[in-house]
Chains A and B, each alone.
Chain A
C-alpha cells in the first residue's frame, strides 16, 4: 500500500517536471524578463586546422563581448557556444544541424568562411536563427534568399575591385599574374580582380586548396616566365606564405597582393619576414588595432595580444545580438526583426543592413595593409574607390 503511494507520488512529480521542462524548452512563452536568461549565441568557424588563426581572432572578439555582457548581467547571463568547423564546408552542415536543435540558441556569429557559410546557412535559415557573419565575404551569399543572413563587412565585390584599383593606381605594373586556390572565396576574389585589371593580366593559374599542395614549382615558373611584376593571390594565408617563400627562393622580386584571407601573422611566419616584406593585403575592415572605445585595451588585457583581423567586427556583431536580447527580443522571429532594422554604432563601424542582409553600401570601409621589413602587417592606406 505504502509502496503504491510512493509510485503515484513519483509519477505525479515526474509529470510535473516534464511539463515544466517542456514549457521552458518551448522558448515561445511570452513571460517576463527571465526569458533573457540562459539564451545562447554561437560561433561557428575554424578553431583548429590550417586556417585556425583567423577563427581564433573572431572567436576572441565574440567571447570578449559575451564576457563583458555577463559581467554586467551576472544574474542573467548569456552563454557562448563554440563550434569548431576546421574551416571545412563538409563538417559545417552536421555541426549546424546539431546547433539548431538547441532551443535556447538565438543568434550565430559566423560561419567564418564563405564555403562553410554556403553549406551551413541554409540550415540556420530553415531554423529561423539569425546569422551575422563578420568575415565570410563571397558575394553570392546574400543572393541565396536566406532571410536570416547578415554580413557585417563588405563583400568580395567591394574587396576585389579595391585590390584591383590599388594595383592599377598605386603599383601601376605592366603585367599582373593572378592565382587562386579554387575556393568559393579565393576564386571569387580573383575573378573580381581580373575584371578590374582586364588586359594587364598576362597569365593565371589555379592551385590546390590549403594543405593539399606544398610544392608550387610550376606556378612559380609560370609567374617568372610571364614577366609579371605583381602577383595577385586569391586564397588563404598558408598557401600564400609557401608560395611567397618559393617565389623569393626562385628570385622573383615582384609584389604579392592578397585579400583578407592572407592577412594573418601565419602568412609572414610561413614566408619568413624577408620574403613577406612588401606584400600588400586588402581587407574590408579598419585595422583592428584602430578600433574605437576601450576595445583594444580590453582585448589586450584579456588575451595578452593585439586584436587580429575581424576581431573588432565580431565584437560588434555579438553586441548587436546582446543589445537585441537586452531589448527583450528573446524569440528567433523577434531577433531577426531587430537585426534587420538595427542601426548600431560599435567599435569598428556603424551597422545597418540592406534587404539582402548586406552592410549598407555607404558604410563600406576598405583598407590596404602592407607587410613591413620586420614582418609586421601595418595599415597602408584606405583603398582607392576607382
Chain B
C-alpha cells in the first residue's frame, strides 16, 4: 500500500476521479430510470452508450477530423462538439427506443416473467455489440482531440483543466435538467406515477407504454451525452466499450440507490474518485477490484444504496 502516493496526489486524484465519475453518472441514469419504472435491469444500455460513442466519432470524421488533426480553435471546436452531441444523443436515444420496441415490449404484452426480460436484455446487448464488432472489424475508432487542455484553476499543486470542467459541468447541468423534468413537468409526473404504482397510474389515465418509451428515450439521451464525454476524455471506442463501463455505471447506480436520479450522480462521482484512490494505493491494475469491494461494503451498511430508491416514493 502506497499511502504516500495517495496523500501527495490527493487533489489531482480527486479531480480526475470526478471527471471519470461524471461519465459513470450520466451513463448510470439509464439504468436507474428504467429500473425505477419497470423494475428491470436494461443490460442493453451499455450498447446504447457504445452506439453514442461511435456516432460522435463518425460525425467528426464526416467533418474531416481524425486523430492527427490539430486541435481546432475554441469556437470551431464548440461547433463540432455541439453537432456531435446532438448526433450522439439522437443515435443513443433511438437505439434505446428500438431496444425497448424489439426486445421488451413484445414480452410485456405477453406478461412474460422477469427472467425472460433479463435474458432478452442480455441477448439485445450481445447482438448490438457483436454486430458493431463485425461491422468495425473489432478495431478501435481513432478519435480527434477537440479540447486543448489548459489549466484553468489551480489549488496548490492541483490543476483543473478545461476538459475536466467541461466533463463535470456537463454532468451537473444534464442532471439538474433531468431532475427538473421529472419533478416539475407533466410528463415527469407521469413517470413518477408509473414508478409508484403502475395499475393506479393507468386507472388515472396515464399512458403506461408512453411513459416507458419516454424513460428509455431519456436514458438513451443521457447515455449519448456520456458517450460524447467519453470520446473527449478517452476516445478510441470499440465495439465492447460499453461492457466494462456499463458494469461500472450499473454499480454507480446501485451505489447511489437504484431508481434514484440524484443517487446516480452521487454514486457515479463517488465511484470515479474511489477508483482513483484505490489505484493510487494498490496500483492501477487493482482499479476494478477496489471499486467493487467498496460497492459491497457500502451496500452492507446501506442495502438500498446511499440515497435509497426514490423514484417511486410519493415525496421524492
Within 8 Å of chain A (Cβ to Cβ): is B111?
no
Shortest Cβ distance from residue A381 to the other chain B in the assembled complex, whole angstroms: 25
Question: Do B287 and A218 touch (CB < 8 A)?
Answer: yes
Known contacts: A249-B149, A272-B144. The answer to whether A211 contacts B240 by CB under 8 A is: yes
The verdict on A205 contacting B284 (CB below 8 Å), with A215-B20, A218-B279, A272-B68 known, is: yes
Does chain B have a CB within 8 A of A219? yes
B residues near A251, Cβ cutoff 8 Å = 149, 151, 161
Pairwise interchain contact A222-B280, C-beta atoms closer than 8 A: yes
Partner of B19, one of A217, A219, A241, A272: A217
Scan B88-116; emit 1 where CB is below 8 A from any A CB, else 0. 00000000000000000000000000000
Q: Is B163 an interface residue (CB 8 A)?
A: yes
A 368-386 binary contact with B (CB < 8 Å = 1; else 0): 0000001100000000000
- Cα A207 to Cα B285 in complex, Å, equals 4
Is B52 in contact with chain A by the CB < 8 A criterion? Answer: no
Q: Is the CB of A375 within 8 A of B68?
A: yes
- Contact mask for chain A residues 228-249; partner B; CB cutoff 8 A; 1 contact, 0 none: 0000000000100110011001
Map CB proximity to A onto B137-151 as digits: 1 under 8 Å, 0 otherwise: 111101111000101
Contact A215 B234 (CB under 8 A): yes
Chain A residues closer than 8 Å to B20, beta-carbon distance: 215, 217
Q: Are A207 and B140 in contact (CB under 8 A)?
A: no
The chain B residue sitting closest to A53, CB to CB, is: B139
Tell me the nearest residue of chain B to A208, going by C-beta: B285
Nearest Cβ in chain B — how far from A346, in angstroms? 31
Interface membership of A266, Cβ < 8 A: yes
A217-B20, A221-B280 given; A182·B285 CB < 8 A: yes
Residue A273 interfacial (CB < 8 Å): yes
Contacts of A375 in B (CB 8 A): 68
Determine whether the beta carbon of A219 is less than 8 Å from that of B9.
Answer: no
Q: Does A220 contact B (CB under 8 A)?
A: yes
Q: Report the Cα distance A56→B39, complex, angstroms.
A: 46
B288 adjacent to chain A (CB < 8 Å): yes
Q: Which B residues between 262 and 312 are near A, CB-CB below 8 angstroms?
A: 275-276, 279-280, 283-285, 287-288
Is the pair B138, A272 in contact by a Cβ cutoff of 8 Å? no
Contact residue among B68, B140, B145 (Cβ-Cβ distance under 8 Å from A266): B140
Docked pose: A374 CA to B70 CA in angstroms: 12
Q: Is the CB of A222 within 8 A of B5?
A: yes
| A238→B287 CA distance, assembly (Å) | 18
Contact B140 A208 (CB under 8 A): no
Interface size on B, residues (CB 8 A): 43
Bound-state Cα–Cα, A258 to B244, Å? 26
CB distance from B64 to the nearest CB of A (A): 15
Among candidates B8, B70, B234, residue contacting A214 with C-beta atoms closer than 8 Å = B234
Contact of B276 among A218, A225, A242, A270 (CB under 8 A): A218
Q: Which of A215, A217, A225, A250 contacts B149 (CB 8 A)?
A: A250
Is the pair B12, A221 in contact by a Cβ cutoff of 8 Å? Answer: yes
Query: A225 contacts which of B8, B142, B275, B283 (Cβ < 8 Å)?
Result: B8
Q: How far is the CA of A212 from the CA of B235 in the complex (A)?
A: 15
Residues of chain A within 8 A (CB-CB) of B138 are 48-50, 52
For A267-281 the 0/1 string (1 means CB < 8 A from B) is 001111111000000
Contact indicator B68/A225 (Cβ below 8 Å): no
In the complex, the answer to whether B16 meets A225 with C-beta atoms within 8 Å is no
Which A residues lie within 8 Å of B240 (CB)? 211
Partner of B285, one of A206, A224, A272, A274: A206
Residues of A within 8 Å of B285, CB to CB, are 181-182, 206-208, 213
Q: Decide: A274 and B68 in contact? CB cutoff 8 A.
A: yes
B118-160 CB mask vs A (1 if < 8 Å, else 0) is 0000000000000000000111101111000101000001000
Kindly provide the distance from the CB of B172 to the nearest chain A CB, expressed in whole angstroms.
19
B59 CB-CB contact with A under 8 Å: no
CB-based contact A206/B17 at 8 Å: no
Q: Does B197 count as interface, using CB distance less than 8 angstroms?
A: no
Chain B residue contacts of A207, Cβ below 8 A: 284-285
Q: Which of B19, B149, B284 contacts A213 (CB 8 A)?
A: B284
B13 at the interface (CB under 8 A from A): yes
- Residues of A276-294 whose CB lies within 8 A of B: none
The residues of A that contact B142 with a CB separation of less than 8 Å are: 269-270, 272
Name B140's closest neighbour in chain A (CB-CB).
Answer: A270
Kindly state whether residue B67 has any CB partner on chain A within 8 Å: yes
Tell me if A216 is interfacial: C-beta within 8 Å of chain B.
Answer: yes
Closest-CB distance, B175 to chain A (whole angstroms): 20
Q: Which residue of B lies closest to A269 (CB)?
A: B142
* B12 A274 Cβ-Cβ under 8 A: no
When distances are taken between beta carbons in the complex, the residues of chain A under 8 Å from B288 are 208, 212-213
B13 contact from A206, A213, A218, Cβ within 8 A:
A218
Given A206-B284, A208-B285, A272-B144, do A221 and B9 touch, yes or no (CB 8 Å)? yes
Task: Tell which of A217, A241, A274, A374 touches B17, judged by Cβ atoms closer than 8 Å.
Answer: A217
Given A218-B276, A249-B145, A266-B140, A208 and B16 contact (CB-CB distance below 8 Å): no
A residues whose Cβ falls under 8 Å from a Cβ of B: 48-50, 52, 181-182, 205-208, 211-222, 224-225, 238, 241-242, 245-246, 249-251, 266, 269-275, 374-375
Q: Measuring CB to CB, which residues of chain B are less than 8 angstroms from any residue of chain A?
A: 5, 8-9, 12-13, 16-17, 19-20, 67-68, 70, 137-140, 142-145, 149, 151, 157, 161, 163, 233-236, 238, 240-241, 244-245, 275-276, 279-280, 283-285, 287-288
Q: 29 A-B contacts, Cβ less than 8 Å apart?
A: A48-B137, A50-B140, A52-B138, A52-B139, A205-B283, A205-B284, A207-B284, A208-B284, A214-B234, A214-B241, A214-B244, A216-B284, A217-B13, A217-B276, A218-B16, A218-B279, A218-B280, A218-B284, A220-B16, A225-B8, A225-B9, A225-B12, A245-B234, A246-B234, A251-B161, A266-B140, A272-B144, A272-B145, A273-B67
* Given A212-B288, A217-B16, A217-B276, 13 further pairs, Cβ under 8 A: A50-B238, A206-B284, A208-B285, A211-B244, A213-B284, A214-B244, A215-B275, A217-B279, A221-B13, A225-B157, A272-B144, A374-B68, A375-B68
